[in-house]
Amino acid sequence: MATKIDTFKNNHPGRDYKILIVQPEFTSLCPVSGNPDFAKLTIEYIPDKLCLELKSLKFYLNSFRNKGIFYENLINEIMETLKDSCSPRWMKVTGEFTPRGGLSTTVTVEHHKQVKAARRPQPNCRPPL
Protein backbone atom coordinates (compact mmCIF):
# COMPACT_ATOMS: atom_id res chain seq x y z
CA MET A 1 0.00 0.00 0.00
CA ALA A 2 1.89 3.08 -1.22
CA THR A 3 0.12 5.64 0.94
CA LYS A 4 1.72 8.74 2.40
CA ILE A 5 0.22 10.05 5.62
CA ASP A 6 -0.19 13.82 5.90
CA THR A 7 2.23 15.51 8.28
CA PHE A 8 2.82 18.88 9.89
CA LYS A 9 5.93 20.70 11.08
CA ASN A 10 7.31 19.74 14.49
CA ASN A 11 7.69 23.04 16.33
CA HIS A 12 10.02 21.45 18.91
CA PRO A 13 12.64 19.59 16.81
CA GLY A 14 15.39 20.14 19.39
CA ARG A 15 13.52 18.21 22.07
CA ASP A 16 12.96 14.47 22.34
CA TYR A 17 9.33 13.84 23.27
CA LYS A 18 7.19 10.79 22.66
CA ILE A 19 3.83 10.76 20.90
CA LEU A 20 1.53 7.83 21.69
CA ILE A 21 -1.38 6.97 19.39
CA VAL A 22 -3.76 4.11 20.19
CA GLN A 23 -6.35 2.60 17.84
CA PRO A 24 -8.29 0.20 20.13
CA GLU A 25 -10.64 -1.06 17.39
CA PHE A 26 -8.30 -1.85 14.49
CA THR A 27 -9.59 -4.41 11.98
CA SER A 28 -8.18 -6.24 8.98
CA LEU A 29 -8.99 -9.55 7.28
CA CYS A 30 -7.44 -12.97 7.67
CA PRO A 31 -5.91 -13.78 4.26
CA VAL A 32 -6.71 -17.49 4.69
CA SER A 33 -10.30 -17.52 5.98
CA GLY A 34 -11.45 -14.00 5.08
CA ASN A 35 -12.72 -13.57 8.64
CA PRO A 36 -12.12 -10.24 10.39
CA ASP A 37 -9.09 -9.85 12.66
CA PHE A 38 -9.32 -7.41 15.56
CA ALA A 39 -6.45 -5.69 17.30
CA LYS A 40 -5.39 -2.88 19.56
CA LEU A 41 -2.85 -0.95 17.49
CA THR A 42 -0.32 1.27 19.30
CA ILE A 43 2.00 3.72 17.56
CA GLU A 44 4.74 5.41 19.57
CA TYR A 45 7.29 7.76 18.09
CA ILE A 46 9.77 10.54 18.74
CA PRO A 47 9.34 13.03 15.90
CA ASP A 48 12.18 14.71 14.10
CA LYS A 49 11.09 17.48 11.71
CA LEU A 50 7.53 16.21 11.07
CA CYS A 51 4.57 14.89 13.08
CA LEU A 52 1.80 12.61 11.81
CA GLU A 53 -1.57 14.22 11.11
CA LEU A 54 -4.24 12.14 12.86
CA LYS A 55 -7.16 12.40 10.43
CA SER A 56 -5.15 11.04 7.49
CA LEU A 57 -3.67 8.39 9.79
CA LYS A 58 -7.19 7.30 10.77
CA PHE A 59 -8.21 6.97 7.11
CA TYR A 60 -5.03 5.03 6.34
CA LEU A 61 -5.62 2.58 9.20
CA ASN A 62 -9.27 2.16 8.17
CA SER A 63 -8.12 1.12 4.69
CA PHE A 64 -7.04 -2.24 6.15
CA ARG A 65 -10.64 -3.23 7.00
CA ASN A 66 -11.04 -5.01 3.67
CA LYS A 67 -7.46 -6.15 3.17
CA GLY A 68 -6.41 -9.76 3.73
CA ILE A 69 -2.98 -9.66 5.37
CA PHE A 70 -1.00 -11.67 7.93
CA TYR A 71 -0.30 -9.94 11.25
CA GLU A 72 3.46 -9.80 10.73
CA ASN A 73 3.15 -8.26 7.27
CA LEU A 74 0.51 -5.82 8.49
CA ILE A 75 2.58 -4.34 11.31
CA ASN A 76 5.69 -4.10 9.11
CA GLU A 77 3.70 -2.44 6.31
CA ILE A 78 2.26 0.13 8.70
CA MET A 79 5.75 0.84 10.07
CA GLU A 80 7.18 1.38 6.58
CA THR A 81 4.39 3.76 5.59
CA LEU A 82 4.60 5.79 8.79
CA LYS A 83 8.40 5.86 8.78
CA ASP A 84 8.46 7.02 5.16
CA SER A 85 5.85 9.70 5.90
CA CYS A 86 7.46 11.47 8.86
CA SER A 87 11.03 10.11 9.20
CA PRO A 88 10.93 9.93 13.01
CA ARG A 89 13.98 9.63 15.26
CA TRP A 90 12.42 6.51 16.78
CA MET A 91 9.16 4.63 16.23
CA LYS A 92 7.47 1.51 17.55
CA VAL A 93 4.29 -0.06 16.14
CA THR A 94 2.56 -2.80 18.14
CA GLY A 95 -0.46 -4.88 17.17
CA GLU A 96 -2.13 -6.84 19.97
CA PHE A 97 -4.49 -9.20 18.14
CA THR A 98 -7.47 -10.82 19.87
CA PRO A 99 -7.33 -14.58 20.34
CA ARG A 100 -8.21 -16.79 17.41
CA GLY A 101 -8.37 -20.54 17.95
CA GLY A 102 -7.13 -20.05 21.50
CA LEU A 103 -3.96 -18.17 20.44
CA SER A 104 -3.35 -14.49 20.94
CA THR A 105 -0.60 -12.76 18.99
CA THR A 106 1.33 -9.54 19.57
CA VAL A 107 3.62 -8.20 16.85
CA THR A 108 6.02 -5.31 17.56
CA VAL A 109 8.42 -3.60 15.19
CA GLU A 110 10.84 -0.76 16.01
CA HIS A 111 12.66 1.78 13.89
CA HIS A 112 15.74 3.75 14.93
CA LYS A 113 16.80 6.58 12.65
CA GLN A 114 20.31 6.09 11.34
CA VAL A 115 22.38 9.11 12.26
CA LYS A 116 25.38 9.75 10.08
CA ALA A 117 28.52 9.76 12.17
CA ALA A 118 30.37 13.04 12.19
CA ARG A 119 33.63 12.87 10.33
CA ARG A 120 36.43 12.62 12.82
CA PRO A 121 39.53 14.70 12.29
CA GLN A 122 42.56 12.60 11.42
CA PRO A 123 45.47 12.78 13.82
CA ASN A 124 48.48 14.75 12.69
CA CYS A 125 50.84 12.03 11.50
CA ARG A 126 53.82 14.12 10.48
CA PRO A 127 57.12 12.75 11.59
CA PRO A 128 58.85 14.68 14.38
CA LEU A 129 61.46 17.29 13.32
Q: Are strands 90-100 and 103-112 parallel, antiparallel or unpaired?
A: antiparallel
Q: Which helix H or strand E contains 86, and what residues bound it?
A: helix 71-86
Total H helices, total E strands in the chain: 2, 6
Pick the catalytic residue: 6, 16, 37, 125? Answer: 37
* 84 annotated active-site: no
Pick the catalytic residue: 30, 48, 86, 125? Answer: 30
* 125 annotated active-site: no
* Residue 95: exposure state from Cβ atoms within 10 A (0-12, 13-18, ≥19): buried
At 29, which amino acid appears? L
Active site residues: 30, 37
